[in-house]
Structure 1
């Protein structure tokens, strides 16, 4: 049976811009980067060296050639233990963030990557 979520693919317009966004603005680490033929690179980033789950930053153009119906943006929810620090850190790094919402069931905010894809960060305590 399934025991972990391994990888989530995000289709990006420019892999180098996406890598810079996730590493420099979000604070992720580079987990893997290797060529996949003449027009594609396998590129994975994650929250830390020890985290198993990664984002695969895959070329949208390459996937549109391979399987056009697969190109969609997943709904990805990230977790943090300090929502206030994460919010201020992303704003400081120039990330486009939505309003910080503090609800009875949890605190969260949305943010956008370099391609305008939207994600949700919520606090887990």
Structure 2
């Protein structure tokens, strides 16, 4: 039985730029960085306050070459926050592209894009455990 989501792999064109976005704009921190002998590098990131589920940044071109059958498209990720309005203001001030805040039955939500124009969503959820 699966108990939790451990890691989400995100394939990016520029790992250094992606790390900069997730750490400087989104407030994540680098948990680890690995580089094997074959030139494969991956960076593990997590929100500062929680490391239960992490994001692993992989080089999209290298993965596509190694495993052509693999879908290296960006997954649809939904993040949770306790204060969507505050996060929205913070990301806007940092120059992050954000969509409008929308009220849904489950809470307020907005989307944002990273430095490679991949879109993700954030939902206000006081019970985000």
**Into which bin does the TM-score normalised by the smaller protein fall?**
over 0.9
> For 1:77 and 1:119, how far apart are their aligned partners in 2?
6
Equivalent residue, structure 2, for 1:32: 32
Q: 1:123 to 1:42 in 2, by over 3 A?
A: same
> For 2:84 and 2:37, how far apart are their aligned partners in 1?
40
Alignment root-mean-square deviation, CA? 1.4
> For 2:49 and 2:80, how far apart are their aligned partners in 1?
16
Deviation at 1:100, TM superposition (A): 1.1
Superposition misfits of 4+ residues, deviation over 3 angstroms? none
Secondary structure, aligned partner of 1:73? coil
Greater CA drift, 43-52 or 111-120: 43-52
> For 1:91 and 1:40, how far apart are their aligned partners in 2?
34
Deviation at 1:19, TM superposition (A): 0.3
Paired residues, what number? 125
After superposition, the C-alpha distances for 1:62-107 in whole angstroms (9 at most, x for unaligned) are 1111112321211110000000011011111111111111234310
Equivalent residue, structure 2, for 1:7: 7
Equivalent residue, structure 2, for 1:109: 110
Residues 1-125 of structure 1 mapped to structure 2, 5 A cutoff: 1-48=1-48, 50-70=50-70, 71-125=72-126
TM, length-normalised to structure 2: 0.90
